[in-house]
Amino acid sequence: MPNWKRCSGGPSTKSVKDQTAATTRVKPVGGPADRFLDAIAERRSVYALTRKSSIPNERVVEIVQHAVLHTPTSFNSQSNRAVVLFGENHMRLWGIVAKSLKKILPPEQFEGTVGKVRSFQAGYLTILYFIDTKVVKELEEQYKTYAENFVPWAQQSSGMLQSNVWVALEKEGLGASLQHYSNLIEVEVKKVYNIPQEWSLISQQPVGVPAEGWKAPEKDFKPLEETVKVFH
């Protein structure tokens, strides 16, 4: 269960170091969005994954499809793309990452890094996030005044999508993290999974039931006075 601290005095002003995650999630008023806010706070990066899922594959696909449909994009351009990899396809992706790292890293450094890659491969599935650059280019041509904004806007929307999926998966009992090996693996990934050339690979999200006993590490929070200004 979430551990929101309900209080009446507004956001905590304690310094970051004395705040646990629970006391930082200040919810002084409360309202219909509380369950949504709880879900946001409960999402964490989970690196200790198992090759198990808490839900059927169809449910994972449903979550990704739902999030792609309903995550906003600039001008409703629908530039987000996602690829869901299960089973051998998931395993192969992390094999591609390991092989690519081996090519560029000195052996000692590779040995230090490949363990991380294996921990992602130990998960149950991986979601790949892309942006369709064809959509972005069309917008740049159509709306010349905004041209320079369409790349960052597409990236922002991709981030929203990734977060939406991440939060939903967490609610369904799955752990996930966000990884960025895109530059290293994009060419091979497109070949192996028959991805259109215009899709630009943004991130890789390994997913699985968290290993038994896994506990999210404490997280530091900057004081809200520093990060949120309010004018009434």
Ligand X SMILES: Cc1cc2nc3c(=O)[nH]c(=O)nc-3n(C[C@H](O)[C@H](O)[C@H](O)COP(=O)(O)O)c2cc1C
Q: Count of residues binding ligand X (CB under 6 A)?
A: 9
Q: Is 45 in the site for ligand X (CB under 6 A)?
A: yes
- Determine the interface stretch with ligand X among 4-12, 76-84, 136-144, 171-179 (rule: CB under 6 A): 171-179
Q: Is 44 in the site for ligand X (CB under 6 A)?
A: yes
Site for ligand X in 133-162 (CB under 6 A): 159
Site for ligand X in 199-218 (CB under 6 A): 216
| Residue-by-residue DSSP string for the chain | ---PBP-SS-S--S-GGG--HHHHSB-SS--TTHHHHHHHHH--B---B-S--SS-HHHHHHHHHHHHHHS--GGG---EEEEEEEHHHHHHHHHHHHHHHHHHS-HHHHHHHHHHHHHHHTSSEEEEEEEEHHHHHHHHHH-GGGGGGHHHHHHHHHHHHHHHHHHHHHHTT-EE--B--HHHHHHHHHHHHT--TTEEEEEEEEEEPBPTT--PPP-----HHHH-----
Which lies closer to ligand X via its Cβ, residue 11 or residue 159?
159
Smallest separation, CB 218 to ligand X (Å): 10
- Determine the interface stretch with ligand X among 3-11, 55-63, 106-114, 175-183 (rule: CB under 6 A): 175-183
Give residues in contact with ligand X (CB under 6 A): 44-45, 159, 177-180, 216, 219
